[in-house]
Every structure is written in C-alpha cells, then in structure tokens.
Chains A and B, each alone.
Chain A
C-alpha cells in the first residue's frame, strides 16, 4: 500500500488529496466566515498548510513540467563546474535549508504585523494567494533560469536577455531598494530600543559576544561553528537575564537609555565601523548567531502556536479597511499588498535565487522543492507573525502601533484615543502589559518588532515559564529581531558599497578597485550616509516613520519583483513557451497595478497622511503663516519635514519610472522573441565564457 501513496495516480493518492482539500476548505471557511466570536489560531494554520500542500503538489508541478519543461537528464552547474567550494552538488534537503535561511529575514515578520490593523483576514488571504500565484512562482522560475545559466545573477541575466541598458537600470533600482531597506530595518531597531535600557543593553552585548566568538573561531578552534555558536547563545541568554538587573539599576539604566535620535546616530556610526572591520571579527559570528537563532525561534513559534492553540482577539476585518488606520495609511487596495510585502512575494528573493543556491542544485527536478517550497515556508512565517499580532488584545495592538501625536504619552490619554478607534482597553491593562514585559511603556512602539515580541511572549510564556518569564521572552524576541536586522545592516552596507563602486566605476575606473582603502571608505561612507539620512528622517517623522518608510520599502520590493517577473516572462517568450506566459504575466500584471497605483497615491493623494506632496504642502502652508505643526518644534524642523516629504516623493517617482522602463524593455524583447522562428534564449552560459561568474 505504501508504494501506491507515493505514486501519483493511484486511487489512494487521490483520496488523500481530496481529504486535504476538504480539511483546507473547512478551515478556510471557519477563518473567513466566523463573526463575533474569536477564532482559534489553529484554523488559520490548518488552512495555510492545506493550501501549501495542494499548491505544491498541483500548481507547482504544472509550472515545473508544462511551463518550464524541467529536464532531469540535464547536467546542472553543480556538476559541470564542481570545485568543491562554490559549485557543489548538494543534497536537496540540505540545500532547502540553505535557501530558506537565505531568504528568511525581518520582512515576513514585520509586514503581516502592520497589516493586522485591517484585521487578520485580508492579510491572511493575501499571504496565501500571493505566495501560491506570485511569490513562490517568482522564486522558482528565477532559480530555474539561473540554474540553466551557470548560476548567474539576476542583473547579469537581465543584461544578456534584455540588453545592457536594462541591466544598468535594474542595477540602479536594486541599489535604491537596498538603501530604503537598510533605513527601514534600522528604524525598526531604533523604535524597539528607544527608552528601553534592557533591550539596548542586550543588543549592545551582542558586539563583545561576537568578538569573542570571532576570535575563538579564527584562532582557538578554527572552523568550529557549532562550538562558537553554542558559546554565543549561552552568553546571549545570560545577557538577557542580566539585562533585567541593568534596567532596574539606578546607575546602569541611564547609561543604556537613549532617545530615538541618539540611537539613530549610534546606529549610523556603527554601520560604518562594522562594515570596514574584518568579517571574521563581527559580521560572520553574528551571522551565525542570528541564523541559528532565527531558525530556532521560527520552529519554536510554530510549536508554540500548535501547543498553545491561542485564540485570535483581533477581529477578522476592522473598520480601518477604509484607509484611516493609524499603523499604515492608505486604502486596503493597493496598500495592504504593499505592506505585507515579503511573506507573499519579495523581489529580493530573485537575488537570492540567482545567488549561491543554483550553483549547488543536484538535479533540475529538485528546483520545485527548493524554489517553490522554501517560499511556501516563508509565507508560513508570515502567517505565524499574523497570528502573533492577532492574539493580542486589539486595544494593546493599536496602543503599540499608533504615533504619540494621536495617543498622547500617558496610559490614560492612550486608552481614550483607542476608545475613539472603537476598541476598549483600560489604562491599567496598558501599564500592566508594560510591567509584564519589563518596559517603562509600550505606547507608540511602532515598527512591528515590539508588537510581534509581545505576541510571541504571550505564546511562548504559555509554554515555558508562565507570566514570570514573559519579560524574558519579550526581550528574547526583541534581541532575535535586532540581531538579524543588525547583521543585515552590516552585510547590506557592504553590498551597497560594492554596488556603488561598480556603478561609479563605469565612469571612474579607479573607483572599482575593491582593494583600495580610499575607494572603499568613500563608497562605504556614501552608502551609510544614504540609508542614514532616511533613518534619521524616519525617527523625526510626524507620522512616526514606519508609516512613511515601510510603504516606500514595500513599493521598492514589489518593484524588484516586477523586474524579476518581467525577465521571467521574456525568458518564456524566448523559450517559445509563450502559451504558458500567463503564469508569470498574472503576478506581473497585479504587481504592476499595485506598485504604480500605490506610487501614484503616495505622490498625489490629497490626504496628507497618504500623499507625500500633500503632507509637504500642509507643512509649507503652516510655515508660511508662521505656525508650527507637531512634532516640529522649530521653523528649521518644519523645513526638514517639508524637504523629507519632497525627497520621498522624488524617490517614489524614481521607483515608478524604473518599473515602467523595465516593462518597456520587456515588451520589446518579448515581441522580438515572437518574431523569431526559433528559441532565442541564451541558456547554459558555456557559450559566453566571458560572462561566467568568477568561480573560486
């Protein structure tokens, strides 16, 4: 009997799939139709898993066999260029782990938490539909394309298939997104640590811990990743425990209590120093910590949700679908899709899928598991973040995510403001929650990380430690997020530096010298200054920063996905598989509509909370009358708000221009491919040896 289950077309197999579909349909119905009563998180998890299984078995297989025409007999780059280092044939499950660890970051955890302001239902539905038809398809197709081209990068592939100008436009777009991403991630850390000595102490402690690990792994026991990581994790936990005493100490607490502005400046300085230090000292060891901690925490959260089976207190749909919500501004369409970002589709994965993974694939028939499968898992992380945000009392959720301009600064004013939103929360609940997680206040801690941390603390403390451990779990969650965000800031600054050197190098060849200290330092300073500018503006932003920067990041990320899907569509046309090009055109069309519409509204919407230009005008009008608008406290600050909003508007226009340009290049290339009689795609890459990536 067992063998039949594995073979696809046996009656047993169909029975199993019908059962999965039925369970999934029931779970989805419960999630979508329950009104007035709380829904158990397990229903969402069940619905999600059923959707993933069915999508992986049927739609992904259709993409694999009919759309892409995967050929198991073809030799992959891992064998053709096997060097035991970059190109290594690797077991598919091992490679799945590698690929998942590379795509999973802060994005899928933050986006859904912010999207929860419209209720858990709209976000959950997009996380599921988006991953099946857009995100996982993109990752899979790009991984396939790169595997057929010796593991070349997305930018490289665009250059050969769409032309050199398209390649430069794409590289420029990628650099701009990096800058915004680094700024918004750094802002999340600032928002989580401002006024929190406990959190700040533990995050600071990661630096000496990483140094210790780095020295251990470099000189004492070279290459013992397991040992050094274990040492690091033990010390991290110790720092969380000791952090409580630091927060309660009259002498130590003030040393680790900072305002947002100070933290932003510290982070900017840190970013510069960290990205010029030797990699083995800080970046590498902290990357080990953050990677293992991330995988462990995701697994722990999944177990916690299944074990605790929490009820969701957030309504399925809130009144904020009309676009008046305090967490992010703008209507459900298109801004929900922009906000969720990475858990449904992330353009960044196109960079990872054309990075190290394609150089290690054993066989083309494993691409579905690695490309499509790992993205399903990422979406599941997004679902868990949505659950963690929705188990909170909605009043607490909104108190944590609303700007102080609306809430005021005391629990009383906050509770009154929340009542205006239509949710009931007592001032006592707010102060009590702050006490439980060991913070002075939980008001206006936007950015997703603290909200997620409180949600996770509720779930995890129900498994281990009860209420006494809640503060520990809260700071554990904050540390875990800050840790991998800082790793990204550090690594991302280095990558941005290389991109700047590469782009400037096309004009000034001397600048390309990555061994030159002068060029390195200048390019690093430019990179840090660019994201630092947006970070600082986010900290002093009247709407609280995240409200302004996260949509900008979402637009940029979806724009990158649109670039990747445009390339994928052209590739299908060139392969003479245009009959199936709807598979990539469908998500491409949707993303184009969402990005351009969201971009347009960010530019020209008359509501100051939505439109950058309207906000700039509002401040300019007040300034002309000599009035000050909160949070500006001087005319100089008024001027800065006006400038920042105009700058954001310019950046949005730039992103939109990149999308439109890439679409034009794509349409041209697709029509050229239609006119040709034969297959025009340039696979394998052995034909173009000068374009091969530099193998070690």
Chain B
C-alpha cells in the first residue's frame, strides 16, 4: 500500500498493528517469539524449542534477573 499524497510505502493495517505490538513487547524486554522459533528451526533443528510461556519467563529473568544490563533506566 502506498500513500496517495506522498508516495511513501505504508504498511497495511494488520501488519502495522503487529509492529506496534512487537514494539510494545520489546519495550519491556520481550523480543518476537516467532522470530526466535524460526531461528531455532534453522540453526538448531534437533534441539528443543522453548514454549511461549518458557520463552516469556526466560526473557523476564534475563531482563530483571541481574547484571548491569537490567531494566534500569534513568533519565
């Protein structure tokens, strides 16, 4: 879909909302689950893949669990 006035390519509505949701999730440290699954299928086809719930817990612990790269934000 392209914008009629400026000619720029616009994402279609559904994809756009998907991006918004993806942004909101990444804002709190949870990356795209589908991308993770796709990546595991290609690179480690024989290894187990975390379920969505496991994936969420893993990311939550990673973000808040420790290390100087935690969820600390400032200003």
Instruction: Write the residues of chain A forming the contact surface with B, with a CB cutoff of 8 angstroms.
Output: 1-3, 5-6, 82-86, 88, 90-91, 93-95, 97-98, 101-108, 110-111, 153, 155, 181, 217-218, 222-223, 225-226, 279-280, 283-284, 287-288, 291-292, 295, 341-342, 346, 348-349, 351-352, 355-356, 360, 484, 487-488, 491-492, 494-495, 498-499, 514, 557, 696
A131 CB to nearest chain B CB (Å): 13
Chain A residues whose C-beta falls within 8 Å of the C-beta of B58 in the assembled complex: 85, 696
- CB contacts (< 8 Å) of A557 on chain B: these are 75
* Most chain B CB inside 10 Å of its own CB: which residue of A94, A360, A514: A94
- On chain B, the residues within 8 Å of A498 by CB distance are 66-68, 70
CA distance A84 to B43 in the complex (A): 10
Query: Which residue on chain B has the smallest CB distance to residue A515?
Result: B66
Q: Take A94-B22, A98-B26 as given contacts and tell me if A85 and B36 are in contact as well, using a CB distance cutoff of 8 Å.
A: yes
A222–B21 Cα distance when bound, in Å, is 17
Given A181-B74, A346-B75, A495-B70: A225 in contact with B57 (beta carbons within 8 A)? no
- A181: chain B residues at CB < 8 Å are 74-75
Q: Which residues of B contact A291 (CB under 8 A)?
A: 27-28
Q: Which chain A residues border B24 with CB–CB below 8 Å?
A: 97, 225-226, 292
- Pair B8/A6 contact, Cβ less than 8 Å: yes
> Given A84-B35, A352-B73, A491-B72, are A93 and B29 also a contact pair (CB < 8 Å)?
no
Scan residues 27-75 of chain B and give those whose CB is less than 8 A from a CB of chain A.
27-32, 35-40, 43, 52-53, 55-75
CB-contact partner of A488 in B37, B53, B73, under 8 A: B73
In the complex, the 8 A-B pairs of residues with the closest C-beta atoms, listed nearest first: A107-B75, A2-B7, A223-B56, A222-B53, A84-B36, A342-B75, A279-B64, A84-B39
Alpha-carbon gap, A369 to B9, bound state (A): 18
Residues of B within 8 A of A2 (CB): 6-8
B residues in contact with A348, CB < 8 Å: 74-75
Contacts of A98 in B (CB 8 A): 23, 26-27
- Identify which of A91, A341, A494 contacts B19 (C-beta below 8 A): A91
Number of contact residues on B: which range applies? 35 or more
Q: How far is the CB of A282 from chain B (nearest CB, A)?
A: 10
B50 CB → nearest A CB, Å: 9
**How many Å lie between the Cα of A296 and that of B63 in the bound state?**
22
Residues of B within 8 A of A82 (CB): 39, 43
- The residues of A that contact B22 with a CB separation of less than 8 Å are 91, 94
Q: Across the interface, which residues of B come within 8 angstroms of A295, CB to CB?
A: 27
Question: How distant is B39 from chain A, measured CB to nearest CB, in Å?
Answer: 4
Knowing A108-B75, A279-B61, A352-B73 are in contact, say whether A223-B52 is a contact too (CB < 8 A). Answer: yes
Structural contact, A88 and B32, CB atoms closer than 8 A: yes
Q: A356-B29, A488-B73, A498-B67 are in contact. Are A93 and B53 (CB under 8 A)?
A: no
Residues of B near A283 (CB, < 8 A) are: 64, 71
B35–A356 CB distance below 8 A: no
Q: Knowing that A88-B32, A88-B36, A348-B75 are A-B contacts, what are 7 other residue pairs whose CB atoms are under 8 Å apart, sorted by A's residue number?
A: A94-B19, A97-B26, A104-B75, A106-B75, A342-B74, A346-B74, A348-B74
Q: Which residue of B lies closest to A484 (CB)?
A: B73
> What are 26 inter-chain pairs, A to B, with CB distance below 8 A?
A2-B8, A5-B6, A82-B39, A83-B39, A84-B31, A88-B36, A88-B39, A97-B27, A103-B73, A104-B73, A104-B75, A108-B75, A222-B56, A222-B57, A225-B28, A279-B64, A280-B57, A287-B71, A288-B28, A341-B75, A351-B72, A487-B71, A488-B72, A488-B73, A494-B64, A495-B70
| Cα distance A644–B30 in the bound complex, in angstroms | 43
Instruction: Report chain A residues within 8 Å CB of B67.
Output: 498
* Residue of B whose beta carbon sits closest to that of A378: B75
From known contacts A91-B19, A98-B23, A105-B74, infer whether A153 and B52 are also in contact, taking CB-CB under 8 Å: no
Task: For residue B18, give the distance in angstroms from its CB to the closest CB of chain A.
Answer: 10
In the complex where A223-B53, A279-B61, A355-B69 touch, is A107 in contact with B74 (Cβ < 8 A)? Answer: yes
Q: Which chain B residues lie closer than 8 Å to A88 at the CB level?
A: 31-32, 35-36, 39
Complex Cα–Cα for A271 and B63 (A)? 19
Enumerate chain A residues within 8 angstroms of B40, measured Cβ to Cβ: 84
A653 CB, min distance to chain B CBs, angstroms: 23
B70:A491 contact, CB within 8 angstroms: yes
